[in-house]
């Protein structure tokens, strides 16, 4: 197994509250890995630590075996990691294409070439735009390229955010509740898109999601945390039959 992203005994405290308590997990390269747990389990905090939006008090995080504890948020895209957020953060007045291209800002190149609008700058812009269009078409947004994002349905906006992350040419994407707030049709379409991103582009995906049907059908492997600590890890079938996981979600008492 080749590790793409892993954390060893990550602990995060907010005052007297321990949000993450010695959590360890491994995201295998080329796979779709899910992170689940009841509300308040520490999923978002851990996600923020892994993407460097949050420091940890103890433990370490590794990206391709390189320790990244001291990295800044903006460093992660240069390493090959992009992420989306639970709450959509798009530029509503700008078009779908413009929003997608924002994800490629670090690929713009030499600022002097762009300022002088040299042939190399024009060529690079065409390449980035062509790629953005290809991504939009892959995510079924080809007909929305010139449409302001504020006019799009919610499910389409979710796809625009995902497309923006893909425009950064990542090797790995962290998806924070990709189908939250979506109806059944939007969820089904996004589920297929996630699988295509993984299979066709070879991108490793690590996702947090509450929709268990989506997680169980999309993920190769699942990590479960509860009360800020590791609870279980395994394949979807193993997690579905794990007694500790069932107790955590259903609140059952010991027999």
Measured CA to CA, the distance from residue 20 to residue 48 in angstroms comes to 11
Instruction: Please check whether residues 72 and 34 belong to one and the same domain.
Output: yes
Any domain includes 160:
no
Secondary structure (3-state) at 37: coil
Query: Quick one: pLDDT at residue 225?
Result: 97
Query: Quick one: pLDDT at residue 41?
Result: 92
- Range of the structural domain that residue 97 is part of: 92-155
Over the stretch 48-83, which tens digit does the pLDDT of each residue have? Answer: 999 999 999 999 999 999 999 999 998 999 999 999
Closest among 156, 167, 214 to 188, alpha carbons compared:
214
Instruction: Please check whether residues 76 and 177 belong to one and the same domain.
Output: yes
Residue 112 banded pLDDT, cuts 50, 70, 90? very low
pTM assigned to the model: 0.89
Any domain includes 86:
no
Residue finishing a domain among 155, 182, 197: 155
Longest distance between any two alpha carbons in the chain, whole Å? 73
Measured CA to CA, the distance from residue 240 to residue 47 in angstroms comes to 23
Any domain includes 162:
no
Measured CA to CA, the distance from residue 150 to residue 16 in angstroms comes to 41
8 Å CB contact between 96 and 145: yes
Residues 164-179, mean pLDDT to the nearest whole number: 95
Instruction: Please check whether residues 50 and 11 belong to one and the same domain.
Output: yes
Three-class DSSP labels, 82-150: EECCCCCCCCCCCEHHHHHHHCCHHHCCCHHHHHCCCHHHHHHHHHHHHHHHHHHHHCCCHHHCCCEHH
Residue finishing a domain among 108, 128, 155: 155
Contacts with 108 (C-beta within 8 Å, 6 or more apart), sequence order = 114, 124, 125, 128
Number of domains in the chain: 2
Any domain includes 133:
yes
Tokens 């370490």 belong to which residue?
60
Query: Quick one: pLDDT at residue 125?
Result: 75
Any domain includes 197:
yes
Instruction: Please check whether residues 192 and 225 belong to one and the same domain.
Output: yes
Instruction: Please check whether residues 16 and 129 belong to one and the same domain.
Output: no
Averaged confidence pLDDT in the chain: 90
Instruction: Please check whether residues 142 and 109 belong to one and the same domain.
Output: yes
């Amino acid at each position: 197994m080749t590790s793409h992203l892993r954390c060893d005994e990550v602990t995060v405290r907010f005052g007297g509250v321990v949000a993450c308590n010695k959590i360890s997990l491994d995201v295998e390269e080329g796979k779709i890995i899910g992170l689940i747990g009841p509300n308040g389990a520490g999923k978002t905090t851990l996600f923020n630590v892994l993407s460097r939006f949050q420091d940890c008090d103890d433990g370490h995080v590794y990206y391709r075996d390189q320790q990244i504890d001291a990295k800044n948020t903006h460093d992660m895209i240069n390493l090959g990691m992009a992420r989306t957020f639970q709450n959509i953060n798009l530029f509503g007045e700008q078009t779908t294409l413009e929003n997608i291209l924002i994800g490629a800002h670090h690929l713009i190149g030499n600022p002097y070439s762009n300022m002088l609008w040299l042939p190399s700058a024009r060529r690079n812009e065409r390449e980035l735009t062509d790629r953005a269009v290809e991504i939009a078409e892959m995510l079924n947004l080809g007909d929305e390229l010139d449409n302001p994002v504020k006019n799009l349905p919610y499910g389409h906006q979710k796809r625009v955010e995902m497309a923006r992350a893909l425009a950064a040419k990542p090797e790995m994407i962290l998806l924070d509740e990709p189908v939250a707030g979506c109806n059944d049709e939007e969820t089904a379409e996004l589920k297929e898109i996630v699988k295509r991103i993984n299979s066709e582009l070879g991108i490793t995906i690590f996702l947090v999601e509450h929709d268990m049907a989506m997680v169980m059908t999309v993920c190769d492997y699942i990590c479960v945390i509860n009360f800020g600590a590791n609870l279980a890890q395994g394949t979807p079938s193993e997690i579905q039959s794990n007694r500790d996981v069932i107790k955590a979600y259903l609140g059952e008492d010991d027999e």
